[in-house]
């Protein structure tokens, strides 16, 4: 690879023509200065601040809905308990048929129908959808009071099957998570899925609700004093933890070990990228020509760092990279000249070196 600074005009911009479609792609050269670093940080903070107020709410009691199975106990009246809904001895007789039938049988209890009602002896049809467990207990007790004296009813959700969220991506056990009486926060959902894997990026957590994606940066929320546990999930939400491999930075050119580097929870500075690549090659690298190529919409923006100036290391430490950035270190003029001569006359340099080498050193 070779980076030609002469392609930029005095204003710091250039236009390159695409070989396939003939379209022009504008590129702009900007020197990295303390003022530029500060401006980029302010822009990054504005872009990272997405309105997630619709996701933040206070925990509320669980609301019964269609599909839930309720456990109802009427004190001093065992004939009205859950056992009355299951025939004695199971559903299929004895032996293998009995075990098969028991495995396929619905759970013992009162299932909430699709219209949000249950059928209870003496009380008849009761609409419990949208009620809490205590509210449903009171309604059922009022219905039974016509036939029983001071009925005491204990109603609980035995099987939570009406509300679910889906956790996907870089978690240990992705899949469906049922919403129960424990408030389903974002942290709770991720913990139930086994937590974020080492390959997961905690700064790239996406919550999809009703077709809208909310980008959530967990470390950034903590820094701002926002508790991630205040983000409440609802039925149908999809949580996806993206991989760190989706946010890589590519370091090439005259460095000791060119490589692709994953970002650390959404953050990687230019200084860190150069350090993890072994730094500028001392034999062929030009420290005054360190470039960061970034795609900004339809244009390419090229940032240049002059490492020979005072304060360059501080600027490189504060210059944050973005996913898919390319860090390129140009070669020195002498290295370019040596390579050009080696391509034109492959054996000339080795012959010249051999001619000037003393015989005692051969």
If you average pLDDT over residues 107-123, what whole number do you get? 87
> 69-159: same fold as 5-48+246-343?
no
Do residues 279 and 259 lie in contact, with contact meaning Cβ atoms separated by under 8 Å? no
- Tell me the pLDDT tens digit for each residue of 19-31: 334 445 567 889 9
pLDDT of res. 330: 93
State which fold the 53-59+163-245 domain adopts: Outer membrane lipoprotein wza fold like (3.10.560)
Q: Highest mean pLDDT range out of 74-83, 191-200, 347-356?
A: 191-200
Q: What is the largest CA-CA distance in the chain?
A: 119
Which of 4-8, 47-51, 105-109, 160-164 is most confident?
A: 160-164
Domain boundaries, the chain: 5-48+246-343, 53-59+163-245, 69-159
- Strand 326-331: give its sheet, edge to edge: 13-17, 24-31, 299-305, 285-296, 326-331, 248-253, 259-262
Q: Please report which confidence band the pLDDT of residue 173 belongs to, taking 50, 70 and 90 as the band edges.
A: very high
**84-93, 129-138, 226-235: segment of lowest average pLDDT:** 84-93
Evaluate the CA torsion angle 263, 269, 275, 278 in order and state its sign: positive
* CB-based contacts of 67, cutoff 8 Å, min separation 6: 111, 112, 161, 162
Residues of the chain above pLDDT 70, percent: 79
**Number of neighbours of residue 192 by Cβ within 10 angstroms:** 17
Q: What is the rounded average pLDDT for all residues in the chain?
A: 82
Are 317 and 271 within 8 A, CB to CB? yes
Neighbouring CB atoms inside 10 A of 290's CB total 25
CATH superfamily of domain region 69-159: wza like domain (3.30.1950.10)
Superfamily of domain 5-48+246-343: Outer membrane lipoprotein wza domain like (3.10.560.10)
- Cross-strand pairs, 249: 261
Q: Where are the beta strands (DSSP E) in the chain?
A: 13-17, 24-31, 69-74, 110-111, 117-120, 124-127, 153-159, 164-169, 175-178, 200-209, 212-216, 238-243, 248-253, 259-262, 285-296, 299-305, 326-331
200-209 and 238-243 beta bridge pairing: antiparallel
Q: Is the pLDDT of residue 286 over 60?
A: yes
Contact between residue 160 and residue 75 where contact means Cβ atoms under 8 Å apart: no
Render pLDDT for 299-346 as a digit per residue (tens, 0 to 9). 789 999 998 888 888 899 999 999 899 999 999 988 888 888 888 876
Instruction: Let me know: does 269 contact 316? Beta carbons within 8 Å.
Output: yes
How many residues does the structure list for the chain?
362
Identify which of 270, 307, 275 has the alpha carbon closest to the alpha carbon of residue 288. 307
pTM to 2 decimals? 0.70
């Amino acid at each position: 690879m070779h980076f030609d600074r002469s392609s930029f005009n005095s204003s710091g911009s250039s236009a390159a023509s695409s070989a396939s479609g003939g379209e022009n792609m504008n590129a702009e050269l900007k020197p990295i200065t303390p003022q530029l670093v500060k401006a980029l940080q302010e822009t990054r903070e504005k872009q990272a601040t997405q309105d997630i107020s619709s996701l933040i709410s206070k925990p509320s009691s669980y609301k019964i809905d269609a599909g839930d199975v309720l456990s109802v106990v009427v004190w001093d009246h065992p004939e009205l308990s859950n056992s009355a809904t299951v025939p004695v001895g199971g559903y299929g007789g004895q032996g293998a048929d009995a075990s098969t039938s028991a495995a396929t049988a619905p759970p013992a209890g009162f299932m909430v129908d699709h219209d949000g009602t249950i059928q209870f002896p003496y009380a008849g049809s009761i609409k419990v959808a949208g009620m809490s467990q205590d509210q449903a207990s009171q309604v059922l007790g009022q219905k039974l009071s016509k036939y029983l004296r001071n009925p005491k009813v204990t109603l609980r959700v035995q099987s939570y099957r009406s509300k679910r969220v889906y956790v996907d991506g870089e978690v240990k056990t992705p899949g469906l998570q049922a919403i129960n009486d424990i408030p389903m926060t974002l942290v709770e959902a991720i913990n139930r899925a086994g937590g974020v894997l080492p390959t997961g990026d905690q700064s790239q957590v996406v919550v999809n609700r009703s077709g809208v994606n909310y980008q959530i940066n967990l470390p950034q929320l903590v820094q701002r004093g926002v508790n991630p546990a205040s983000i409440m999930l609802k039925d149908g939400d999809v949580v996806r933890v993206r991989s760190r491999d989706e946010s890589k930075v590519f370091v090439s050119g005259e460095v000791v070990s060119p490589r692709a580097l994953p970002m650390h929870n959404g953050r990687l500075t230019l200084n860190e990228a150069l350090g993890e690549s072994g730094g500028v090659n001392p034999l062929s690298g030009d420290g005054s020509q360190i470039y960061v190529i970034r795609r900004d919409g339809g244009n390419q923006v090229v940032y240049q760092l002059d490492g020979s100036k005072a304060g360059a290391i501080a600027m490189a430490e504060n210059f944050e990279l973005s996913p898919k950035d390319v860090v390129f270190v140009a070669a020195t003029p002498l290295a370019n000249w040596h390579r050009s001569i080696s391509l034109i006359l492959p054996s000339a340099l080795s012959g010249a070196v051999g001619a000037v080498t003393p015989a005692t050193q051969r």
